[in-house]
Copies of this chain bind each other. A is one copy, B any other.
Amino acid sequence: MATSSSSTPVQEPLQQGLHQDGRRLTPQRLRILDLFERLGSGRHLSAEDVHQQLLEGEAKVSLATIYRTLRLLVDMGFLQELELSEAGRRFELSSADHGDHHHLVCIRCGRTEEFESIPVITAGQAAADQHGFDLIESTLNVRGICPDCR
């Protein structure tokens, strides 16, 4: 049983952070953060992904708790949320000029700046060539935090 391995490296900092705010360490919270820890950096999961991953193991955590815990872990700084704050799709005119559209988006306020970049076009073309694709369009989305929101 994997439960015997109490050596989760995240337990201590998590517990400490929780107790500072009068919150409690629960198996559910530990399991969720531990999942991200095991997957390692750079892997991002949706709430549903987390739910599925935990179901594959022997641990079930309700979706409601997953949503609550993800928000908590983001607030505590353990996780980062990758998404436009005021989520939702945006539309804009497709100008015939640029088939090449690059956006710098603030994940807090949604502010968007456009920019162009030759190296990006080149890299997109190179990737297409390498896999035998005919290139149609490439779009670079850069997510970050703008000066006002920092």
Given A82-B103, A91-B74, A97-B42, the answer on whether A142 and B128 have CB atoms closer than 8 Å is yes
List residues of chain B with CB within 8 A of the CB of A89. Answer: 46-47, 81-83, 87
Smallest Cβ distance from A33 to chain B, in angstroms?
Answer: 9
Which of these, B96, B145, B146, contacts A41 with CB under 8 Å? B96
List residues of chain B with CB within 8 A of the CB of A83. Answer: 84, 88-90
List residues of chain B with CB within 8 A of the CB of A80. Answer: 91-94, 96, 101, 136
In the complex formed, the residue of B with least CB distance to A77 is B94
Which of these, B37, B70, B117, B144, contacts A91 with CB under 8 Å? B70
A93 touches B40 (CB 8 A): yes
Given A46-B88, A104-B128, A107-B136, the answer on whether A37 and B93 have CB atoms closer than 8 Å is yes
In the complex formed, the residue of B with least CB distance to A144 is B133
Residues of A within 8 A of B (CB): 36-37, 39-48, 50, 70, 73-74, 77-85, 87-97, 99, 101-107, 112-115, 117, 119-120, 122-124, 126-128, 130-147, 150
